[in-house]
Amino acid sequence: MALHRLFRLSSALRSAASLTLRRNVGMSAIVFNKAKELDPVQKLFLDKIRDYNNKSKTGGGIVDAGPAYQKNLAQEMTKLQRLYGGGDLNQFPDIKFTGQFEFVFYKKLFFKDARLAEGQT
């Protein structure tokens, strides 16, 4: 009886081991094929990404921006400075809220009756 259980257990272990081995061999074949050579489209895509990365590091700004783009950018920046009163447009504005504003906004947004928000009945 114990011998029969041992054979049954060894059969289960053997099938699990063979399944794992087959999966590992299958995955290693995929990895080795990818390491050999890429698809031509993938290779072109990766080459373009590497080229863009090199250009962006050397240029420091927008890649392949011509004089028309630079002129348009300057016009838009002057228009924004004129509309919003100047300042540094490359930095996020410093916004400060008071506690009263936040509480009033919260009351108006979430409570129909302001007395309920203040705890009055």
Q: Give the pLDDT band (50/70/90) at residue 47.
A: very high
Residue 111 lies in a domain: no
pLDDT digits (tens, 9 = 90+) for 63-86: 888 889 889 988 998 898 888 777
Asked if residue 11 and residue 45 are part of one domain, the reply reads: no
Residue 118 lies in a domain: no
Q: What residue numbers bound the domain in which 23 lies?
A: 1-36
Q: Give the pLDDT band (50/70/90) at residue 58.
A: confident
Residue 66 lies in a domain: yes
**Number of other CB atoms surrounding residue 56 within 10 Å:** 13
Residue 115 lies in a domain: no
Please give the pLDDT value at position 103: 60
Residue 94 lies in a domain: no
Higher pLDDT, 75 or 36: 75
Q: Give Dmax (Cα) for the chain.
A: 93
The helix/strand/coil state of 24 is helix
Residue 105 lies in a domain: no
The helix/strand/coil state of 15 is helix
Asked if residue 68 and residue 50 are part of one domain, the reply reads: yes
Higher pLDDT, 112 or 85: 85
Asked if residue 75 and residue 63 are part of one domain, the reply reads: yes
Q: Give the pLDDT band (50/70/90) at residue 3.
A: low
Higher pLDDT, 99 or 28: 28
Residue 44 lies in a domain: yes
Q: For 42-51, what is the mean pLDDT?
A: 91
Q: Give the pLDDT band (50/70/90) at residue 51.
A: very high
Asked if residue 77 and residue 54 are part of one domain, the reply reads: yes
Residue 93 lies in a domain: no
44 phi/psi in degrees, rounded to 5 = -65, -40
HSE at residue 3, side-chain half, CA atoms within 13 A, is 0
Q: How many domains does the chain have?
A: 2
Please give the pLDDT value at position 68: 92
